[in-house]
Amino acid sequence: MDTARRKDHFCTTDTGHGSGDKTDMGAYEANKGLIHVDKDATGGDDGSSWANAYTDLQDAFSQAGDDTFADYDPAACEVWVAEGTYKTSSCSICSDGDKQESFELIDGVGVYGKFAGTETARSQRGAATTSATILTGLIGTASPAQAYHVVTAGSGVTSSAVLDGFTIKKGKANGSSGDLDKGGGLLISGSPTLGQLIIKQNLAKNGGGVYLKSGNPTFTDCAFIDNDANDGSGGGRGAGLYVASGGGGSLEFLRCNFNNNTSLDHGGGVYIAGTGAEPHFTNCLFYRNDADQEDNTTRGGAIYTNRLMVLKGCTFAKNWCGDNARGGGVYLQTGNSVLRNCILWNNEAGGTHDQEGDQLRADNSVTLTVTNSCIMEMSTDWGDTNNKFDPKFDNFEMDDYDLDPENCGGQGGDTCTSSAIDAGEDDDCTGACESGGDVKKRTRKVNLDNVDNDIDMGSLETPSGS
C-alpha cells in the first residue's frame, strides 16, 4: 500500500514500548485518524494536515466513513474544520438528488468546528460564544437552491458521533415525500452528542430547526434561533425543535437557548408529540418564540408537550401564541410534568382564560409539580416555595434576562430587590446542572443574601460582586 510506517494514530492510545510514533503490528500501517478541512487550503487536498486540508467537507465525511481507507476502521475518529462556509453539495444547477444530500454523522467520529487552521490541539480552537464555521443548505452556484436537511443522523448513530462548534443554517425541508418535509437544519434518528451549535434560519413543515424522529441525542450549549415551521395544514409545529413519538429513556437539553422561532401551529419553540423519551431542559432560556396562526387554537408559545417533561432552572419570557390560544409560555396537553427553579414572565396567549394561563396551562387533568418558581399572575396554589413577584430583570426591553442585584448586600436576610435571587432550591441543581453553570456558563449557587439556598430561579445566575 506504500504507506509510511511509525505514524502515531490519533484515535488510539499507545500500548507499545515508549511514547510518540510507533509501528503498528502486522503488514499495514494505519492512517493517522485525524482529518483537516479548510476551504482556503491550497495544498494536497488530502486532509492530512492544515496545509493539505480538504477544501470540501463532504470529502472528509467520505474518508471518515470509508471502512477500507488505509485498512483502518474507522478511517478517522475526528474531523477538524476551519472557519468558513461549507455547502452540503457543490452542485451548480442542482437536481432534487443534490438537494437530498446532507452532512451525515458517522458513528465513532467527532466533527469539530471553530478552528482558525493552525491549531495542534482541540482545546486551542475558538471561544464557545462564536461560531464562524458554517454548514449551509444554501447550494447551487448558477441557480440558487436549498438542501432539504443540512445535517442528518441515522438510527445507527450513537453518542460516539459528535458534532460541535458549528452554525447550521438555511435548510429548507419543503419536500412532499418521506422525511423531506422535516428538520431543515437537522433530521435525527439516532443518539449523537451535539454541542455548541447555532441552529438558525431553517424551515420545515414540522421541526424547522431540528426534527427528532427517534433516538436519545444530547444538546449542550446550543441555540435555536429564527427557525420556521410554516405549514399549518397538519403541520407547522415546533419551529425550533420537534420531538416525534417513540423511543424511551431521556432527551437532554443543557444550557440551550430558544428564541425568535415561529410556527403556524402549536409549539413556537418546541413541540413534543405523544409518548417516548422524556425531555429534560436544564438551565435553558426561551424568549420571543411564537405559535402564530391567527384565529386558531394555537398553544404553547415556547413549548407544547404531550408527554412528561422536566424543566429545571429555565426562564420563559415574551413568548406568544395567537387568538383563542392557551399557554403563551408552556402548554401541557398530556403527561405529568415538573417545573423547578423556573421563571415564567410576560408571556402572552389570546383567548379566554385566567392570566396565569398566559404563562402556563395544563389541561386534561395533567399533574404538574411546580416548586421554587416565579410565575406572573399566579393563581393556582402550587405551594409556598413559589411566588408571583417581579423578578426584576436587568434590561427586560433589550432581552437581558440577568436578575437585577439591587440591594443584595449580603448582610443576611432577604435583602435583594429581585424575588428570584437565591430563591431556588439548591438540591434541584446537581450534577451537570451545577458543574456546567448557568446558560452563560457562569457559576451556579452564588450566595448573595446569606440565607439557606444560593441558587437563583431561572436560567441565569447573578454573579458575586455584580
Instruction: Please state, in angstroms and as integers, the Cα–Cα distance from residue 256 to each residue in 348, 350, 420, 445, following that order.
Output: 22, 27, 20, 19
- pLDDT of res. 376: 95
Is residue 430 in a domain? no
Model pLDDT for residues 85-106, shown as the tens digit of each residue: 999 999 999 999 999 999 999 9
Is residue 254 in a domain? yes
Q: How would residue 127 be classed by pLDDT, with cut points 50, 70 and 90?
A: low
Run of H or E including 29 = none
- Could you identify the residue written with the cell 482556503? 40
Query: What is the average pLDDT across 142-159?
Result: 96
For residue 5, pLDDT over 50 is answered with: no
Model pLDDT for residues 53-80, shown as the tens digit of each residue: 999 999 999 999 886 554 444 557 999 9
Model pLDDT for residues 223-277, shown as the tens digit of each residue: 999 999 986 556 799 999 999 998 788 899 999 999 999 999 999 999 999 999 9
Is residue 429 in a domain? no
Q: Which of 381, 376, 310 is nearest to 343 (CA)?
A: 376
Q: How far apart are CA 237 and CA 249, in angstroms?
A: 23
- pLDDT of res. 24: 45
For residue 25, pLDDT over 80 is answered with: no
Is residue 434 in a domain? no
Residue 317, C-alpha cell as written in the block: 419570557
For residue 423, pLDDT over 90 is answered with: yes
- pLDDT of res. 221: 98
- pLDDT of res. 417: 87
Order of strands, edge to edge, in the sheet holding 270-272? 103-104, 151-153, 186-188, 210-212, 241-243, 270-272, 303-305, 330-332, 360-362
- pLDDT of res. 232: 53
Domain span at residue 382 reads 80-403
**In the chain, what percentage of residues exceed pLDDT 70?**
86
**In the chain, what percentage of residues exceed pLDDT 90?**
72
For residue 389, pLDDT over 90 is answered with: yes
Q: What is the total count of domains within the chain?
A: 1
- pLDDT of res. 131: 53
Query: What is the average pLDDT across 140-150?
Result: 95
Is residue 416 in a domain? no
Is residue 296 in a domain? yes
Residue 64, C-alpha cell as written in the block: 471518515
- pLDDT of res. 231: 66
- pLDDT of res. 234: 62
- pLDDT of res. 409: 65
Q: Biggest alpha carbon distance in the chain?
A: 76
- pLDDT of res. 385: 95
Is residue 122 in a domain? yes
Query: What is the average pLDDT across 16-29?
Result: 45
Residues listed for the chain: 466
Mean pLDDT of the chain: 88
Q: How would residue 448 be classed by pLDDT, with cut points 50, 70 and 90?
A: confident
3-state SS class at 228: strand
For residue 19, pLDDT over 70 is answered with: no
Beta strands in 11-123 (DSSP E): 34-37, 78-82, 84-87, 103-104, 110-115
- Could you identify the residue written with the cell 421554587? 372
Is residue 309 in a domain? yes
